[in-house]
C-alpha cells in the first residue's frame, strides 16, 4: 500500500480559526504584494498545484488567486518562519495583485511616519 505523505509540514502552527497569514512577494522584484490567509487545505493546494490558494475569511471559501480576475499567482517558493505560524510565498504575479487594481495591496497607501536614524545615540 502506498503511503501518501502530507506535503504540509507538521511544524506549521495555525491559529484558533485554523488559519495562518501568508505573505505574498514578487519573486523577481522583491515587492511585497499582499497578505492573505490559508488554512491547512489551502497550504496543501498551494504546495502541490503551482498556484496560490487562500481561504477567504469574508466569503468563507477557498479562493484560488486569479480565477475570477485572471491575476494569477504562480508559486516560485514557499518558506515558513521560525515559529511556523507565517508563510512567505514568492510568486510570479500576473497583472495586479490587489483587487483595487494596483500592483500591490500596499501601493500608494503610505502612512506618515517618523524615519528612524540608525546613527543616533542608542536610547
24: closest CA among 71, 70, 95, 73?
73
Q: Does 79 bind a second copy (CB under 8 A)?
A: yes
Q: Which positions from 30 to 59 touch a second copy by CB under 8 A, shown as an x/- string?
A: xxx-xx----------xxxxxx--------
Q: Which of 62, 69, 72, 103 binds a second copy (CB under 8 A)?
A: 72
66: closest CA among 58, 54, 78?
54
Half-sphere exposure for 59 (CA within 13 Å, toward CB): 9
Q: Which of 6, 59, 60, 112 binds a second copy (CB under 8 A)?
A: 112
Element (H, E) at 34: strand 32-38
Is residue 26 part of an annotated ligand binding site? no
* Residue recorded with cell 481561504: 55
Compute the distance between CA of residue 119 and CA of residue 123 in angstroms, rounded to an integer. Answer: 11
Q: Does 121 bind a second copy (CB under 8 A)?
A: no
- List contacts with a second copy (CB under 8 A): 7, 9, 21, 23, 25, 29-32, 34-35, 46-51, 72-83, 86-88, 91-92, 94, 98-100, 102, 105-106, 109-118, 120, 122
Amino acid at each position: 500500500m502506498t503511503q501518501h505523505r502530507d506535503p504540509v509540514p507538521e511544524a506549521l502552527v495555525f491559529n484558533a480559526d485554523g488559519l495562518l497569514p501568508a505573505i505574498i512577494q514578487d519573486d523577481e522584484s522583491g515587492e511585497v504584494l499582499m497578505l492573505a490567509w490559508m488554512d491547512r487545505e489551502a497550504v496543501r493546494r498551494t504546495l502541490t498545484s503551482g498556484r496560490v490558494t487562500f481561504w477567504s475569511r469574508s466569503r468563507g471559501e477557498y479562493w484560488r488567486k486569479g480565477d475570477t480576475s485572471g491575476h494569477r499567482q504562480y508559486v516560485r517558493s514557499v518558506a515558513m518562519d521560525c515559529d511556523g505560524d507565517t508563510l512567505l510565498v514568492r510568486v510570479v504575479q500576473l497583472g495586479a495583485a490587489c483587487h483595487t487594481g494596483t500592483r500591490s495591496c500596499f501601493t500608494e497607501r503610505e502612512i506618515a511616519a517618523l524615519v528612524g536614524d540608525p546613527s543616533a545615540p542608542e536610547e
